[in-house]
A = this chain, B = another copy of it.
Amino acid sequence: MFREHLQKMVENVEGGQSALLMGFDGIAVESFSREDAPDPDIQTVGMEFSFIFGQIKKAAEILEIGGIVEVTIQAEHLVIIIRALTDEYFAAITLSEHGNYGKARFLLRVTAPRLLKDL
């Protein structure tokens, strides 16, 4: 169930590499990577950024700007889009630097409620 949704996201976007459903505690529920996806693996990416997402949440509380909906990190060799699903879980997708960012963001947004349904 989760894996299918993650796989669809990755396969339907140009440059899509991996997708992940993870707890903010850094423990993955499910993930999918294209066979030819380069390092780093998506679980390692998820663990690093689950910690950072926690820091961003704290900053948002201090600033009183509401809950965090989405965080995007564009590095030179990887784009990471993270979307909060609940207080405990998030979904993420990674793309190559030339991937279709807008489409990935859209797919993550429409996939979120499908993942949420089964959480």
Contact = CB atoms under 8 A, between A and B. Distances in A.
A1 interface: no
Given A48-B63, A49-B59, A52-B55, A71 B68 contact: no
Is chain A's interface secondary structure helix, strand, loop, or mixed overall? mixed
A76 B71 contact: no
Contact of A60 (B63, B75, B102): B75
A103 B37 CA distance: 31
Nearest to A101: B105
Given A69-B74, A73-B71, A40 B63 contact: yes
A87 interface: no
A59 B40 CA distance: 11
B72 A76 contact: no
Contacts of A67: 75-76
Contacts of A56: 52, 73
5 shortest interchain CB distances as A-B pairs: A66-B76, A65-B78, A48-B59, A72-B72, A65-B75
